Amino acid sequence: MESPLVIVDLDRNPAWEPDTRDRVVIGVAAAPKDAIDGYDVLLTAVPDPPAPWVWCADPHAMARELGHIVESRPAAAVALVQVLRMGGGLPVPDRLVLESLAYSTLQGGADFRSWLAAAPGRTHRPAETPVRLGRDGSRLVITLDRPWVRNAFDAATRDALCEALEVAVADPSITRVDLYGNGPTFCSGGDLAEFGTSRDPAQAHLVRVRRSPAALLHRCAPRVTAHLHGACVGAGIELAAFAGRVVAAPDTVIRLPEIGMGLIPGAGGTASIPVRVGRERAAYLALSGAELSAVEALRWGLVDEIGDTDDVTADAQEAVRS
């Protein structure tokens, strides 16, 4: 079987034209080059390079590391870059459908089932009110409130967040929406206690499309400010990136872990994150699973401002009490 990966040394082969249909294509160069197209990830040794380039101390070593990841999870890696490539020509609602179709396909794949079989068992710890609302005049405050599981995103949280965002979408008198996470982190991503519990990927796709916080966030995005702190993993950053403004506390750490599970981001990340950072940097984040600090996220444009940790957590706790 042909390798799912191509690594191109652009210093030696600057005019190489990759065939990107069914392979992940990584370009490596000592310094960023202009007019680069057709590559999924671009790596360089120059610090703080312009988009779409990503800095690495040793780009060739990083390319090999990404290669190992792609070789170990070929279906997810190739699906990721295909979704990102095609999504660039689609409106956001259609990008979300495309992402969900690919995600559902991978849910039925051997890599995800293998990861699921090896994962430790977890007990679901639901909340009576996983999302809390507060209204102050024209301001709506939405707070994820399962701090004992770091606001892990389960089905109940998804449904409650949809209900909250439907209020914002339907009520034009709401001119500001603030999104917080109560406790030590904004959101630690999908609740692993529920992963794999759906045995029907086709039905799961319909649910994701019909109950989509991402689609609702997109509809009211100009009015939304997401306040990040602590871990923002998977859905935690995928949803927040739709907000018109994203404020991150200095302790914010961002990560997309899904490829390691044999999946791709499935909460809207292939639609939201590329709009902010470009598809190449989005692919790098997802393929590498690397942590991105608040400072790095600000530099890339994934967040718009770095705020104060104490202010964010205090505001979230006050929103829960109100």
Domain locations along the chain: 5-72, 92-258+291-321
Over residues 130-147, mean pLDDT: 97
Fold for domain 92-258+291-321? 2-enoyl-CoA Hydratase; Chain A, domain 1 (3.90.226)
Q: What is the pLDDT of residues 40-78, one digit of tens each?
A: 999 999 999 999 999 999 999 999 999 999 999 999 999
Q: Which residue has the tokens 């988009």?
A: 51
Radius of gyration of the chain (CA): 19
Confidence class for position 299, pLDDT limits 50, 70, 90: very high
Specify the 3-state DSSP secondary structure of 189: coil
pTM of the model: 0.94
Residue % of the chain over a pLDDT of 70? 94
Distance between CA 218 and CA 243 in Å, rounded? 7
Helix 213-220 and helix 269-277: axis angle, to 10°? Answer: 40
φ, ψ of residue 259 to 5 degrees: the values are -60, -40
Beta-sheet pairing, 54-55 with 224-228: unpaired
Q: What pLDDT is recorded for position 311?
A: 64
pLDDT exceeds cutoff 90 at 278: yes
Q: Which region among 15-24, 109-118, 139-148, 233-242 has the lowest average model confidence (pLDDT)?
A: 15-24
pLDDT exceeds cutoff 90 at 314: no
